[in-house]
Amino acid sequence: MLTLIEKLLFIVAVAASLYFAGVGFYKVYKVIMRGSGEKPSFRDMMSRLWYAAYSWITTRPIWKTRPWSSLFHIMISVGFVFYFLVNFGDIIEALFPVTFLGHNIIGDLYRFFADLATISVLIGVIYFILRRFVFNDKALTYHENVKLVERVKQGGIRRDSLIVAFFILFHVGFRWLGNSFKLSLEGGDAWQPFSTALSQLWLGWGEGARIVGEHLGFWLAIGLILAFLPYFPYTKHFHLIMSGFNFLSKPKRTSLGALEPIDFEDESQQEFGVNKIEQLPWTHLVDAYSCIMCNRCQDVCPAYTTGKELSPSALEINKRYYLNEHLDELAGGKESEFSLIDFAISESAVWACTACGACVDICPVGNEPMFDILYIRRHQVLMENAFPSELKTAYRGMERNGNPWNISARDRMNWAKGLQVPTVDENPDFELLWWVGCAPSYDPRAQDTARALAKVLNAAGLNFAVLGEMERCTGDSARRSGNEALFFELAQGNIETLNEVMGEQKRRIVTTCPHCLHTLGKEYSQYGGNYEVIHHTQLLSELTAAKKISVQRASDVDMITFHDPCYLGRQNGIVEEPRNLLLETNAFLIEMPRHGKQSFCCGAGGAQMWKEEEHGAAPVNMTRYEEAAATGAKTIAVGCPFCLTMMTDASKQADQGLVVKDIAEIIAERLEQTPVTQ
């Protein structure tokens, strides 16, 4: 199609564009490689290739919320992926006298999908232009108290979004226009209905004018790519490429919230945690470039939605703009002048995170802002000794007495007085080890859960035992508040104890606390503690299914809503067992809008249980309680001692008569006096 002069100009333009784009891409590569952590091997990435490709093309998590926006986004993203082939085909046809993929069924289908992709992308882009610039969707804004880099404050996101939107709109639009001129010369094509329909407008034009229109459409469409390509690494549009790499390179975690350990035995390591952006794991630098800036993460963040200073989206966006503004220095190996707390996130926001994992779970491109925050906490605690003063008591208690309540370890079994709860010393041949946990051992309200579970275990005739005074805190609160050294100490001690009492036999551990469940089962393996750990709702579900216990069905239907603990549902995928147990009691289960793996946090995670809540518009636990009360339920069922405390406190404050109970309590109350056994 192109003349010889046009072909020469095209080759020169391509060479210039690729050179300047290559410089930008190389700088981004150099910056990312400065990040910490082991880089994946080629074999590792190839093993994840199918998962990465599938996740990249479908952007699976995007469908969890905003169905209309998700639909229009995938219309753009899938069209964009297909347009790699479309642009390649257009260049081949422009340089050589051939029809790309030929006149056969394959070529016909290619041209049909190219035409469909064109319209799909145009509709999608127009939707997002209207959403951001005409209707000013509040979901794309931030609270005034959220820290933003200066360029973002000055409207950088809107400006960059407009540039990208118009690039896509004009690139695809001019390609459609040029193709329509081409089809008007060829007499149309039934496989390209949209381009053929547009070509009808040019039938009255002369042949020369239509040839000019075809050439002009090509140059404007492809020329925009060549002009845009050097700018591409600096735009939000870069996420369309980097998100695929994010899926490909992310480390495989034992679960959604499992943190990477610190090797305290490595004497060469002088600094712990993350202070400056180049100290982040390299995959978290990829996160900054992968971010869609859709703000889905802040929509589900309990801190942000209750008016705190934390926005996981703003954190990623601030990282991105800082990297762009300092790309030359960082790529050249210079150290950042500012810490992350100076520009990316406020100190209050760092301590507002509940470590619930909702931001990680919802992100359609695999970003993990929660981990950035927890790594920053590590630096604050271990290097700066800067953390909320209330945590001192919890730390001191875990260090001295093995529990954050700072109550004597000798009192750990007081809750079990008068009950048949054997220790491992009294019953060394146990089959099931019950990890009671600190809350059921020391907190008066949570002790009711422990007593209820003891009643059920004995009714079922299970051969179980507890560690008694040998049990110490698993260290969940220490780890998620940044005190990795304390967590390491607790983990080593607990693993030594567990390995000794568990022996070579295959024994399971049951916990009433999802945080203990997660830490014992998903994080102790980092230090050689490999155990099969289940939650008490899983065990109770097994017992009812096996007829080891029988539950009386209430004559009157109890209206119950179940609050899914973050570390039970989202972090460990245990969703059905608690609900099945409630249905066994003839309860009428009413779901809250946010439930299951998309549950809303109670506000106690991430060590929030041991400190004052950061300033905001509303407490997290009251927000969740109001959501539960709005269902019309009379009882809020929980499966976590932290959730039990937070929901009970909220219920007392609201004074609406809602009862808060652990599922173990509900089952124990309905337990048949003479269980059915098989």
pLDDT tens digits for range 434-469: 999 999 999 999 999 999 999 999 999 999 999 999
Q: Are residues 515 and 593 in the same domain?
A: no
Which has more pLDDT, 65 or 17? Answer: 17
Phi and psi torsions of 635, nearest 5°: -135, 135
Residue 254's pLDDT is 61
Distance CA 614, CA 192 (A): 58
Across 126-155, average pLDDT: 95
Residue 600 in any domain: the answer is yes
For residue 277, the model assigns a pLDDT of 97
| DSSP 8-state assignment for residue 281 | B
pLDDT of residue 253: 67
Mean pLDDT computed over every residue of the chain: 93
30-58, pLDDT tens digit by residue? 999 999 988 878 888 888 888 888 888 77
530: burial class by Cβ within 10 Å (0-12, 13-18, 19+)?
exposed
Average pLDDT over residues 597-608: 96
Q: What is the pLDDT of residue 48?
A: 84
Domain final residue, candidates 214, 234, 254 = 234
Same domain, 441 and 587: no
Helix (H, G, I), strand (E, B) or coil at 534: strand
- Where does residue 273 fall: left (phi above 0), alpha (psi -120 to 50 degrees), or beta otherwise? left
What pLDDT sits at residue 675? Answer: 46
CB 199 within 8 A of CB 184: yes
Residues 152 and 187 in one domain: yes
Host domain of residue 399: 391-545
- Domain identity same for 202 and 87: yes
| pLDDT score of 503 more than 90 | no
Q: Residues 510, 594: one domain?
A: no
Answer yes or no: is 443 within a domain. Answer: yes
pLDDT at 676: 46
For residue range 198-257, what is the model confidence (pLDDT) as tens digits?
Answer: 999 998 899 999 999 999 999 999 999 999 999 999 998 899 889 888 888 877 766 677
Residues 536 and 642 in one domain: no
Calpha distance 197→180 (Å, rounded): 8
Q: Give me the residues paired with residue 432 across strands.
A: 464, 508
Burial class (CB in 10 A: 0-12, 13-18, 19+), 261: middle
Q: Is the pLDDT assigned to residue 77 strictly greater than 90?
A: no
pTM of the model: 0.92
Q: Is residue 279 part of a domain?
A: no
The conformation of residue 337, written as its DSSP 8-state character, comes to S
Q: Are residue 165 and residue 88 in the same domain, yes or no?
A: yes
Please check whether residue 450 is in contact with residue 415, taking contact to mean a CB–CB distance below 8 angstroms.
yes
Residue 616 has pLDDT above 50, yes or no: yes
In this structure, the answer to whether residues 484 and 594 fall within a common structural domain is no
Boundary-marking domain end, from 204, 234, 264:
234
424 contacts 470 by C-beta, under 8 angstroms: yes
Average pLDDT of the residues in 621-626:
97
Q: Is the pLDDT at 479 greater than 70, yes or no?
A: yes
Is residue 552 domain-resident? no
Question: What is the structure's pLDDT at 678?
Answer: 41
One domain for residues 104 and 78 = yes
CA 676/CA 31 separation, integer angstroms = 64
The pLDDT score that the predictor gives to residue 39 is 83
The answer on 490 and 431 residing in a single domain is: yes
Q: Note whether residue 602 is domain-resident.
A: yes
In the chain, how many domains are there?
3
Is 90 contained in some domain?
Answer: yes
593 lies in some domain: yes
Look at residues 203, 219, 234 and tell me which one is the last residue of a structural domain.
Answer: 234
Greatest Cα pair distance in the chain: 100
User: What is the reported pLDDT for 80?
Assistant: 86
Instruction: Please tell me whether residues 657 and 511 are part of one structural domain.
Output: no
pLDDT at 408: 95
Q: Say what percent of the chain tops pLDDT 70.
A: 98
- In this structure, are 505 and 541 located in the same domain? yes
Residues 384-424 have pLDDT tens digits of 999 999 999 999 999 999 999 999 999 999 999 999 999 99
Residue 438 lies in a domain: yes
Q: What is the CATH number of the domain that holds 650?
A: 3.40.50
Taking only the tens place, the pLDDT of each residue in 307-321 is 999 999 999 999 999
pLDDT tens by residue, 551-594: 887 666 789 999 999 999 999 999 999 999 999 888 899 999 99
Across 333-337, 551-555, 642-646, least confident range: 551-555
Long-range contacts of 77-80 (CB under 8 A, 24+ apart): 77/240, 78/117, 78/120, 79/117, 79/118, 79/120, 79/121, 79/124, 79/172, 80/121, 80/168, 80/240
* Residue 545 contacts residue 566 (beta carbons within 8 Å): no
Q: What token pair was written down for 604?
A: 């106690």
